[in-house]
Structure 1
Amino acid sequence: MAAARWVAQRVLLGGVIRSVVSVRIFGRERLSDLRGAFVVVANHTSHLDAPLVFTTLPRRLARYLSAGAAADYFFDVKWRKGLTALFFNAFPIHRAGLNRPASEARALLERGVPLLVFPEGTRSRTGRIGTFKVGAAALANQSKVPVLPVAIIGAHAAHPRGSKWPKAGRPPVAVVFGDPVFAHAGETPTEYMRRVRGEVQRLHDEHAHAVLSTGRIASGGPR
């Protein structure tokens, strides 16, 4: 299954991503020492977000990455559940937070499986970064693994909520990886997630102008 998923992600999904948007990647050098399980926390504005993360993470980190997906949408019918499992190795998240599936998520982390979580719970309607629910921070802290902050830029403009397909012309998007972040001693999940959200916002703001001010970005694309 892992081999089939890898082909689905890198060949099929990666091919689609490269055909509809022009991708730039920042910060991959920060991932060189990352090993074992971790929790990717990213802003969420578009259906492009998960594919962008899966196809831009280095192969050794993305190979077994498991994405949290809304249980009431991606797991409500058999065919959608199957595709979500194939492409994103997904586990269900209920929109109220990580409480119900927390045991499954912790079990994955204990097995060394990294997780992808969008803590806003739903796609932003405006493109702005919203409030981050604390479940992912609590999970990372309990499991003694780092959070990997990731900022996604341009996905809302390229494929906003409510649109059926990305806009024509391969609009520019970017994925920005931050440094892995561990909880501080005595830090509450709320404080931890506030710090992570601040880092996602900083990464976004640092690169947004350069990415969005050009009609098109030259890039090596997802690898």
Structure 2
Amino acid sequence: MFYYALRLVLSPLLRWLLRPSVEGSGRVPGTGAVIIAGNHQSFTDQFLLGVVLRRRLTFLAKQEYFTAPGLTGRATAAFFRALGQIPVDRSGKEAARAALDTALQVLDRGAALGVFPEGTRSHDGRLYKGKVGVAAMALRSGAPVVPVAIIGTFQAQPKGRRLPRRVPVTLRFGEPLDFSRYAGLEEERLVLRAVTDQIMYAVRTLSEQEYVDVYAAEARGAREAAAAAA
């Protein structure tokens, strides 16, 4: 109930503020398990996807949204829990396994799961290397993956900006990707990497972003270290 009530409130606001243009939303199956995998440039990305798609989306959200201290932290945690979001511990592969299992339960119910394979927002608007969790979910569940490019939200609300600018954005959905030929190979690291790279290539083709073959968190850390040294 809270999800649909929030969408009712956010829809006119985001449509007025960001004027989203939507291309190819009919490529998202109307029923059955599906993974929506997109680039991640802004805090507003998941809300925009929730507004423009008819289906309810459950997202993987960073654990910090659920563990921040103080009154604001508790309010944020309650907000994301009410939306049914899944906390992800990003400290390592083993730490994220519980979130992966919960995500698979969502897909087993025939629901739609939203994933940002980069793992964090881009700090410079470029597209970064995807983490293989999205491939593991696709292979273990058998769900198709619909790539989506979210264009313009970095200009509207880059990381660190509290309120978005009034900038038009585009959400461009690609054809569903079927990885059923890899069934049973979800423990093969090279297969997971190949599937993830295919998903990221589809997103890159839709978004026309510059691609950087390193993880976003590592690139941001290197940048911050260089700035501190200077």
SS of the residue corresponding to residue 149 of structure 2 reads strand
Preserved contact between residue 139 and residue 180 of structure 2 (Cα < 8 Å): no
2:59 to 62, 67, 71: 67
Q: Once the 2 structures are TM-superposed, how far is the Cα of residue 78 of structure 1 from its aligned partner?
A: 2.6
**Could you list the runs of 5+ residues in structure 2 that have no partner in the other structure?**
186-190, 210-230
Task: From the CA coordinates, give the structure whose radius of gyration is larger.
Answer: 2
TM-score by length of 1: 0.81
Please state if 1:155 is matched with 2:158: no
Deviations 1:124-173 (A, max 9, x none): 01111111001011111101111111100000001111111112xx2111
Q: Once the 2 structures are TM-superposed, how far is the Cα of residue 34 of structure 1 from its aligned partner?
A: 4.6
What is the RMSD of the two structures over their aligned residues, measured on CA atoms? 1.8
| 1:40–1:17 CA distance, 2 compared to 1 (3 A) | same
Please state if 1:202 is matched with 2:198: no
Higher relative contact order (CA 8 A, sep 6+): 1
TM-score by length of 2: 0.79
Deviations 1:163-218 (A, max 9, x none): 11112xx2111111111112152471111111110000101129xxxxxxxxxxxx
2:221 paired residue number:
none
Cα separation, 2, equivalents of 1:14 and 1:21: 10
| 1:178–1:48 CA distance, 2 compared to 1 (3 A) | same
2:195 to 180, 192, 195: 192
1:52 paired residue number:
48
Cα separation, 2, equivalents of 1:75 and 1:105: 19
Preserved contact between residue 99 and residue 135 of structure 1 (Cα < 8 Å): no
Larger deviation: 102-111 or 77-86?
77-86
Which structure 2 residues correspond to residues 9-158 of structure 1 after superposition, within 5 A? 9=7, 11-31=8-28, 33-57=29-53, 59=54, 61-62=55-56, 65-76=57-68, 77-86=73-82, 88-95=83-90, 96=92, 98-158=96-156
Number of residues paired by the alignment? Answer: 195
